[in-house]
Amino acid sequence: MAKVLSVEIGYSLIKIIETDFKAKSPKIYRCVNLQTPDGILNDGELNVTGDLVAIINDALMARKMKTKQVVFTITSSKIASREVVLPNVKENKVETIVRANASDYFPVDISRYEISYTLLGMVGEEKDKMQRKVMVFAAPQTLLEGYYTLAERCGLTLVAMDYSGNSIFQVIKKECSNGIQMVVKVDERSSIITVLEEGQLVLQRSIPYGVDEAVETLIRTRVYEVADYKEAVELLRRKTCVNRTLRARTDIADVNEEDGELDEGEQFASARQQITGALETLISGIARVIDFYNSRNYGKQIDTTYLTGLGGDFSGLSKLLTNELGMRIVVLTKAEGFNLAKAFRETGFGGYIACLGAAVAPLGFLPSKNAEKKEKGKVTLTPLLAVSVLILCLIISIAWFVVAYVPYSEAAEENTRRRAEVQSLAQQYVPDYLEYTTTKQAYEYMFAAYGQTRLVTQYLVEFIEEMERKMPHAFYISTMHVNATGFTMSVTVATKEEAAECIEQLRTFTSIAGLSVNGINDGREAIFVDVDGDGILEMVVGGEVVGSPGNQYYNFDTTENITQGVTFSVEGVFSGLGAWSGSTDEDNAADEAGVGISDAVENTDDGE
């Protein structure tokens, strides 16, 4: 089985593994990580220098990695992606359809981009109406050129290039095949959040935050005595240098006025708090993506959340994210089909997850295989045939030149001018398009989040106002629950007759379209009250004097029993008449939410 070097170049670290290429259960032979020279990377674009080439070649020689085939996995916001649904065609026909419609998927000059895709699965309920769901990617050629150059200068053969989002998906799709799972890959300056449902990709977002600031903070504190970035990363893997929460209470004493320094314990506590604080933007970015998913997938809760990437190996980071995000975060330590425990015994697996996925099923981002097949299938011309074709072409060319030289030259000039305009417009509007897509995603997220905060309450206002006008004095509402379409409430009155009158009165409300009685409970008890003030106690049941126990004198405050009466529960549907004139689609976004009135409401005025 062919081996390949899979390489991911980050802002601070370069990760390389030697593994099997496009294998179902690949074996990892060797791995190494190197510190990236300064000024090498800018949003995925590579600046190939002699130092970079020397570092990689020296590492390959030192680790005895003799494989000459190489795959790069790239993280960049310049790689555009779009999910499309195609007819249920054979897999070998998908590439033809994707390339034919690429200009519709991405309104840019496609000639300046390399197009690739990955299959996400089938959609549709009926077998004869199934469709293919495909994720299409477009990578600028200027972004890829640096990796071509690096492979060539290192003496390696470039066999494929991949997008890190696809690399992660290839590793986790089998491990996350049950339920709804979320995987958070945290790198130096960016993180990728992927959500899968039953093994199929439903959401993938990249945020521009990582652990780089936390690592730099650890180095600046000088408490842990680390010399460089790589050494700081190794320390963060071995030792917990972050608190369990962002606002963890630390007993840091004031600076001693005599020596101006903190003692050793206080210095470490202060350093941990600074390192933890540097992770706040990362936590906020992850929380926003989770909120966006929840707003788009109401009722579908995430079952398990995994942490991986460079930050996944940091001790204590999963506990910090668990406490701050309010959901259990576990470190991804295994993946179905990969023997990770044996291969990464001495180092963490998280930093190499993209390298591993890029070797399994890379996107490619190389010239189309169909074009190569056509090139190989060309007919080789014999000398005689070539001369004959040449003579014929000369005759035809002269004829066309004589007959239509002027129109042809004008058309050629117009064509040249139009091409120049197209190229100019493409360079001018590509950044605008990328900014538009980013702004559109942010708008959609804010719009969905705003919709969750709105609830129509005009019904409730009209209903309460009508109760104030029409209900009797002793009308006690113990509980009321209201949503956008109706209400349920429990009411207590003195007698069953009053209960019947109240129910009939409620049926006359213009603010109610329908009313049903869920139950009536007679909670009245027999009490003895001096009704006429003559000092003799009468027995009263439900407000009616039913007998006297004799000449007994007893002072009794009847107001203490005013709520002992008949309780009934009703459920109604608002009619929507009166001041309310209808709801909009935006208002309906809140229909699933409810308004509860837990405090008791009592109508104390006869006319108001």
Q: Are 467 and 327 in a shared domain?
A: no
Q: Are 103 and 248 in a shared domain?
A: no
Q: Which of 490, 474, 467 is nearest to 542 (CA)?
A: 474
CATH of the domain at 103: 3.30.420.380
The reported pLDDT for the residue numbered 607 is 37
The reported pLDDT for the residue numbered 387 is 81
Domain span including residue 274: 176-333
Q: Are 276 and 212 in a shared domain?
A: yes
Rounded Cα distance, 20 and 1, in Å: 7
More confident residue, 322 or 521: 322
Alpha-carbon distances, residue 522 vs 236, 494, 503, 526, 569 (angstroms): 68, 9, 15, 12, 12
Q: Are 185 and 293 in a shared domain?
A: yes
The reported pLDDT for the residue numbered 2 is 87
Domains identified in the chain, total number: 4
Q: Is the pLDDT of residue 227 over 60?
A: yes
529 falls within a domain = no
The reported pLDDT for the residue numbered 608 is 34
Q: Is the pLDDT of residue 3 over 80?
A: yes
Q: What is the pLDDT of residues 148-171, one digit of tens each?
A: 999 999 999 999 999 999 999 999
Q: What is the pLDDT of residues 391-402, one digit of tens each?
A: 888 888 887 777
591 falls within a domain = yes
Alpha-carbon distances, residue 608 vs 22, 215, 503, 505, 603 (angstroms): 78, 66, 19, 16, 8
Average pLDDT over residues 370-389: 56
The reported pLDDT for the residue numbered 358 is 92
The reported pLDDT for the residue numbered 534 is 65
Q: What is the pLDDT of residues 43-60, one digit of tens each?
A: 889 999 999 999 999 999
- The mean predicted confidence, pLDDT, of the chain is 80
Average pLDDT over residues 179-199: 92
Q: Are 202 and 299 in a shared domain?
A: yes
548 falls within a domain = no
Q: Are 144 and 112 in a shared domain?
A: yes
Q: Which of 320, 231, 229, 230 is nearest to 279 (CA)?
A: 320
Tell me, yes or no, if the pTM score tops 0.85. no
Q: What is the pLDDT of residues 465-495, one digit of tens each?
A: 888 888 876 678 888 988 878 889 998 888 8
Average pLDDT over residues 309-331: 92
Task: Report the 10 Å Cβ neighbour count for 608.
Answer: 8
Q: Is the pLDDT of residue 216 over 50?
A: yes
Domain boundary among 274, 305, 333: 333
555 falls within a domain = no
Average pLDDT over residues 549-570: 54
Q: Are 220 and 182 in a shared domain?
A: yes
Rounded Cα distance, 184 and 283, in Å: 11
The reported pLDDT for the residue numbered 223 is 87
Q: Are 307 and 287 in a shared domain?
A: yes
Q: What is the pLDDT of residues 239-295, one digit of tens each?
A: 999 999 998 654 333 334 344 444 457 888 888 999 999 999 999 999 999 999 999
Q: Are 284 and 152 in a shared domain?
A: no
Task: Report the 10 Å Cβ neighbour count for 520.
Answer: 14
Q: Are 440 and 469 in a shared domain?
A: no
Instruction: Indicate the DSSP class of residue 476.
Output: E
